[in-house]
Structure 1
């Protein structure tokens, strides 16, 4: 069966551009085949091509005319910021060009005159932001829980006591930054009970808390905890616009008005003042509507599909302990990973990374793109690629 016939028989050829993946009011006409969405098991979101992205903007603009912003103020950006403030339960929000800037400026402001920040050793702030805290902002990052996705309140207390007793010029930390879920730990989720314990510990000592929530909605889908419940433990929260909300880039930082009011000047002096941001804000706002419900449906669809795929000879799909949307995936030795993934990609519009990593497993990322094909169609594609 060729790809055109397969897509027609699977029912996807009659679906609208985003088939229930955005606001309920958005129901554009049937999409041409060139715009059909791929099931993307490689990333945390759908992952639009440039052509698809342009089509998304055009369709959104037809339903609700996109109002442009002025340096991330007014227009659709304002609508997006108000939405995030409600979702997180914070007083205010600001648009920033990147998550790194959002994380670093939040930590900088929360710390005040203090120079120490507690972080997970596996966190993006510690491992993936170019030592910005040290080199730009003069903050000393104190990593905890090496190789793990979270530290406990007891571990934090022990480290805090050790520093207080072991440094000649003792100075307390000013802030605690926690990433949840943790990308470097395959999307593992920090337990809410531990976050609450850390928040209570921090409040007693006057420490402020920042949440790197780049993938927070994914944690919510698998933990059953809402964004607001997580955000309540923190003074500031960063949310990404492109991980799973479809935008090409962008970040939103939420917090108290007193904190957020300090950010526009800092964004400007660090080179983050972008003239136009509506093209990111409009897409993110559109996909933000109903995201929790869609991710829950994606989780349920994946659970059913993976259970049936595990019954096939030579296929193994395993969840990550305390995980979210990332799963381990392994093919038996008789299958060629490149041939398998190539067949799925070329014939059935399914992207998957089948080549194993150091632990012998590849990774499968579940996102709402799994809703773009009926379950039986997905199973049929895998069976065909396996030749069973």
Structure 2
């Protein structure tokens, strides 16, 4: 068994794993369906009351004219950018160098849609107004990811979003929101989801991240835009005969967790502060701005793994299921707070971090 699997298996066996909502097993679907009527009719190829009602509900919540449910956010975002490029007759879009489209989709925009990306900003920070104003290429659309997941969930300040939005509208550039984690940033900005979305021409949100559903996404904007997206959804094979398992779980967990986002943020801040008390540990951001952050430890991956295994065994508290190597002397992992953290006794958490600090210090001496 690989070292990664050893850590994963040890994490699974802990009594008190800290991140996430819980195991992504069949119980997630069973809970969502527990009170669903037996005679509820399914959707059929993108039509039907169940999908149409949920789309209308999400459009209203996000303050947009219309919304379309997609089986995946990858599909939804490629389609959004294709529509904006076709409308302007320009096959270029701009986004962060660590955007999901750039590093996780096998260059799908270029291969499927012949769209060229323009990469903005340094990899270590979010996009600033100067990056947008300083572009020397014509683009159809600018994509902003809020929060920027690959750099710990960093966010620009709200005023920056407002001035970027105003600039784009003045210059005829469409502004698209990669809002996979939109719900999770609402408490930090102290704005409603609709207020944030008003700055953007199109918005994508996910239902399996902070919400914790099975899968699925919403793409929203003006009705003319969403009608075009339906055509592209069919072209991409996204109109499955039925999507109701995803829709029911999305709606159920949306109702269960949307009111908890402020709690998750405060718990993320609390947990980050505990990491800061440990030797050779930093978080990015230093103070979380959503329910997620990255933990960087100035210890090699090989040296840290047995320390974590010992902490798990002695305290029953699980911190992470994996480590990613930064260099020979540093590794990191991501933390996303969900329902689990609040259920862990505080004394057990403090015990785990005290032991983690002691063991890192002993290893460093």
Secondary structure at 2:27 match in 1: helix
Matches of 1:227 and 1:139, distance apart in 2: 29
Structure 1 residue 235 corresponds to structure 2 residue 210: no
Matches within 5 A, 1:240-279: 240-279=206-245
For the structure 1 residues 341 and 54, does the alpha-carbon distance in structure 2 shift closer, same or farther, using more than 3 Å as the test?
A: farther
Secondary structure at 2:113 match in 1: coil
**Structure 1 length normalisation: TM-score?**
0.75
Q: For structure 1, which runs of at least 5 residues remain unmatched after alignment?
A: 1-35, 164-171
Q: Partner residue of 2:50?
A: 76
**Structure 2 length normalisation: TM-score?**
0.80
Structure 1 residue 291 corresponds to structure 2 residue 257: yes
Q: Partner residue of 1:378?
A: 349
Question: Do the aligned partners of 2:71 and 2:238 also contact (CA within 8 Å) in 1?
Answer: yes
Deviates more, 1:239-248 or 1:335-344: 335-344
In the TM superposition, what is the alpha-carbon distance from 1:223 to its structure 2 partner?
3.7
Structure 1 residue 350 corresponds to structure 2 residue 318: yes
Question: Do the aligned partners of 1:301 and 1:375 also contact (CA within 8 Å) in 2?
Answer: no
Q: Which of these residues, 106, 112, 117, is aligned with residue 141 of structure 1?
A: 117
Secondary structure at 2:56 match in 1: helix
Q: Which of these residues, 364, 367, 372, is aligned with residue 337 of structure 2?
A: 367
Matches of 2:124 and 2:296, distance apart in 1: 21
Q: Partner residue of 1:89?
A: 63
Matches of 1:248 and 1:345, distance apart in 2: 31
Structure 1 residue 330 corresponds to structure 2 residue 292: no
Aligned residues: 339
Q: Partner residue of 2:100?
A: 124
Matches of 2:210 and 2:29, distance apart in 1: 17
In the TM superposition, what is the alpha-carbon distance from 1:351 to its structure 2 partner?
5.0
Deviates more, 1:118-127 or 1:88-97: 118-127
Matches of 1:158 and 1:381, distance apart in 2: 48
Alignment deviations for residues 303-333 of structure 1 (CA, whole Å, 9 cap, x no partner): 334545655x647453415753214253879
For the structure 1 residues 335 and 125, does the alpha-carbon distance in structure 2 shift closer, same or farther, using more than 3 Å as the test?
A: closer
Matches of 2:23 and 2:30, distance apart in 1: 10
Matches of 2:350 and 2:51, distance apart in 1: 40
Matches of 1:54 and 1:342, distance apart in 2: 34
Q: Partner residue of 1:32?
A: none
For the structure 1 residues 66 and 336, does the alpha-carbon distance in structure 2 shift closer, same or farther, using more than 3 Å as the test?
A: farther
Matches of 2:222 and 2:324, distance apart in 1: 44
Q: Partner residue of 1:105?
A: 79
In the TM superposition, what is the alpha-carbon distance from 1:341 to its structure 2 partner?
4.2
